[in-house]
């Protein structure tokens, strides 16, 4: 069975601090995608990043960076120099693959609420 855990329910930081959101995906699958989505207070879901299970290179996009370590099943997301606009709920969402087929069935973690205070 697959299990995705976002152990941090809520995080509060002061603006300009760096913050890391943790995600652990336990699975026996060797092939899968990992996604992060952002849900700001307005409620929409915004796609941030997709990585596949073969790629353990860190990725950086502006103030955002992602670190995937297959050995520990962790796919962590770091915001550098946080801003008030980063306040949102962040979801980690693995997508199991069966062979070459996409199951289409994202598995969402429970989310981490990030509050960035001015």
Partner 1 sequence: DAGITQSPRHKVTETGTPVTLRCHQTENHRYMYWYRQDPGHGLRLIHYSYGVKDTDKGEVSDGYSVSRSKTEDFLLTLESATSSQTSVYFCAISESLTSGGYTDTQYFGPGTRLTVL
Binding site for partner 1 (CB under 8 A): 33, 35, 37, 43-45, 47, 50, 91, 93, 95, 102, 104-106, 108-111
In angstroms, give the least distance from the CB of 39 to partner 1: 9
- Closer to partner 1 at the Cβ: 19 or 96? 96
- Closer to partner 1 at the Cβ: 39 or 73? 39
Nearest to 4 by CA among 19, 31, 23, 18: 23
In angstroms, give the least distance from the CB of 67 to partner 1: 20
- Closer to partner 1 at the Cβ: 31 or 58? 31
Q: In angstroms, how far is CA 96 from the centroid of its own chain? A: 15
In angstroms, give the least distance from the CB of 34 to partner 1: 11
Under a CB-based contact definition with an 8 Å cutoff, are residues 112 and 4 in contact? no
Nearest to 2 by CA among 100, 67, 94: 94
The secondary structure of 67-81, three-state, reads: EEEHHHCEEEEEECC
Calpha distance 16→36 (Å, rounded): 21
In angstroms, give the least distance from the CB of 101 to partner 1: 11
- Closer to partner 1 at the Cβ: 17 or 54? 54
């Amino acid at each position: 069975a697959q299990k995705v855990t976002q152990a941090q329910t809520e995080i509060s930081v002061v603006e300009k601090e760096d913050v890391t959101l943790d995600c652990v995906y336990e699975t026996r699958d060797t092939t899968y995608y990992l996604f992060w989505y952002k849900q700001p207070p307005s409620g929409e879901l915004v796609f941030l990043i997709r990585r596949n299970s073969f790629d353990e290179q860190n990725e950086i996009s502006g103030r955002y960076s992602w670190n995937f370590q297959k050995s520990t099943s962790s796919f962590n997301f770091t915001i550098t120099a946080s801003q008030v606009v980063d306040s949102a709920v962040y979801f980690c969402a693995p997508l199991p693959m069966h062979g070459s087929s996409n199951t289409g069935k994202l598995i969402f973690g429970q989310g981490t609420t990030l509050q960035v205070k001015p």
